[in-house]
Structure formats: structure tokens, C-alpha cells
Amino acid sequence: MNAWSRRVVLGALAGAATFEARAQGAGPEAAWPSGPIRIVVPFAPGGSTDAVARLAAPGLQRALGVSIVVENRGGAAGSLGTDVVAKARPDGLTWLLTFDSHAVLPALVPRLPFDLRQDLEPVTLIGGAPYVAACRPDKPFRDLAAVVAAAKARPGSVTFATPGNGTIGHLVMTLLGSRAGAPFQHLPYRGGGPAVNDAVAGHVDMVVGSAALLAPQVAGGTLRPLVQFGPQRLPGLAQVPTAEESGFPGLQAEAWWGVFAPARVPAPVVARFHEALVGAFRDERVSQQITEGQQARLVLAGPQELGRFVDGQVETWGRVVRENDIKAD
């Protein structure tokens, strides 16, 4: 049984005792939420994580009856905002809604000021979407083969933007360059929004981001998708081959979004917030925006599932960081 599993079991036992106390009129969580709720997004505004948080906010507000404030705290691959939550009071008024790079932090950031397993409590695995590489339509690339050929002809000349060093987009392109013998030049940005903006403006050759992040520009014709890194083609990108179809078996990378709480938030509060999140994302308008507008799939799994999933992601991408000596911004 891993650390998260033990904590979930202990939390469930504590939660049962708390509910009994609550029935007798005791327990501080009986009055939860006692004020506005803050959802910290550890990235700049305009990216997919920010968009997912803001889609959830109205439903959470209706369900919980308090104001929901989305607060962007970008920097250091998401570790600055994550640290804010890890050190917050465990009163159920501060939550973290973060992205896949969360699982890379232990390998990426030296002397990380928090421990993913000890200082944060998994709450909800919201969903995911494959990574996609895209370029402005007037760039001379039509598919992944053209990108690789250009990089081989002039190593390091083909640039790609991502939301930052050590993000999954950076790591999958590092793997691609290594396997293709065609190194690319990485240009890290402070969030998905700025990276997309510079790709649309033509300042970089490509942007690599989740299908959710790139969906509005792809739909609007300001970006041309070249390859997707999911296990199969998305319905909304049916004409775009996967990396595996393009000659790179096993090369997969998917974005995901998850919610975490500071450690020691009472189990009943975690359960109620998870329930409110599930309700917010199952709203027909919200789920349609995520599944169709952002080309993502909803999972809405609970704490144990999120804990196990993150353990696997830590192992997979941490190895890429260490083997390629990748550092945070």
C-alpha cells in the first residue's frame, strides 16, 4: 500500500468519526465552507489549466454557495503556485487545480519546498487530452515528416514553444528529437497562452501543447496541427496522424488536469469538494465545452485513482528529465 493509499484509508476512518461527531453538532467542517474558496492555478492566465478552472467555477459556486476565486500563481514549472497550496491552512478554502507537469516537479526542481505525497491530498482527476504540435499555416511544414527533415538538415534550427521547461510538451519533443536524430530548439514560455500567441504571430516555428490548449486556434485556422501524441486520433482531429502512425511507436504524451488539497484537510470536506467538482463538470454546457471545444475527455475520478495515476506519471516523465538533465525555467 503506497503513502497515498494509506492516507486515503486513514482519512476515510477519520471521516467516519467526523460524520458521527457532526451528527452530534460537532466538528469544524460542519460549517464548511465558511468563506470564499480560492482555486490556485500555478500557471499564467490563458492556458488550458486556467480555462478548466474557470469553467468549473460557476458550478462550484452554485453547489457550495460561496464565491469561487481563480488565482493564477505562475512560475518555476508550476511549483510556486503549488507551494502556496501545500503551505495553506487545511481549512478547505484553498485548492490546487494543476496540470500534468505537476508529476515532473520532483525530478525537475532541485530542493522542491514541498513533497507531492506528504503535503498535498489528491482530490479529483478531471480528465485529459493528447499533446499536439502545430504551426502557423504559412510555415513550410505539412506533417511530422517535414518537421523532422528540416531539423535533420539544420540541427537546432526548428524552434518549438511550450508553457515552460520540463512540461510534458518539452519532454515529448526531447524524446522525439532523440529518436529521430533531429534535435529541436526549445523556447519555454511562462504559460500556454503566451506560447500560443507567439506561434500564431509566427515568432516560433511550432507550439506544442494539449489539444485543449490549441483547439481554439486550430478551429479558427490560425494554427495547423501537424501531429498528435495520443494513442489514437481524436474525432476532432481525424485528419491528423498520431506520432505512432508517423513512425514512432510508443511515443505518447497526454495532458491531464487534477485537483489537490493541502494535507490534513478533513476527509469529509475533500469528499464534498470532489462531489461539487464532478457536478460542475457534468453540467451539459461545461462538459460539451471540454469534450468538443477543447478536445479533451472527462474522467472525474476520485482521490485514490488520482494518487495512483500521478505515481505512474512521476516515474515515466521523471526518468526523461533525469536522463536529459532538464532543469526548470
| 231, 243 contact by CB (below 8 A) | no
Give a yes or no: residue 223 inside a domain.
yes
202-216, 264-278, 292-306, range with greatest mean pLDDT: 264-278
Residues 326, 162 contacting (CB under 8 angstroms) = no
> In this structure, which amino acid lies at residue 322?
R
Domain co-membership, 80 together with 134: no
Q: Are 113 and 136 members of one domain? A: no
Q: Is the domain of 82 the same as that of 184? A: no
Q: What is the pLDDT of residue 279?
A: 98
* CATH number of the domain that residue 164 is part of: 3.40.190.10
Range with the largest mean pLDDT of 17-26, 58-67, 96-105: 58-67
Summary mean pLDDT of the chain: 89
Dihedrals phi, psi of 23, to nearest 5 degrees: -60, -25
58 in the same domain as 123: yes
Label residue 293 by pLDDT band (50, 70, 90): confident
**Residues 262, 120 share a domain:** yes
CATH number at residue 81: 3.40.190.150
State the pTM of this model.
0.78
The last residue of one of the domains, among 237, 263, 290, is 237
User: H or E element: which one contains 209?
Assistant: strand 206-210
Q: Residue 119 belongs to what domain range?
A: 3-128+254-323
Residue 242 falls inside a structural domain: no
Structural domain count, the chain: 2
Q: Is residue 318 part of a domain?
A: yes
Output the pLDDT for position 153: 95
Backbone angles phi, psi at 275, to 5 degrees: -60, -40
Q: Examine residue 245 and state whether it is found in any structural domain, yes or no.
A: no
Question: Do 60 and 195 have their domain in common?
Answer: no
Q: Is there a domain that residue 248 lies in?
A: no
Tens of pLDDT, residues 280-291: 999 999 999 988
On whether both 160 and 304 belong to a single domain, the answer is no
Dist. CA 150–CA 136, nearest whole Å: 16
Q: Which residue has better confidence, 254 or 293?
A: 254
Mean pLDDT of 162-183: 92
| 219 and 285, same domain (yes or no) | no
One-letter amino acid at 26 equals A
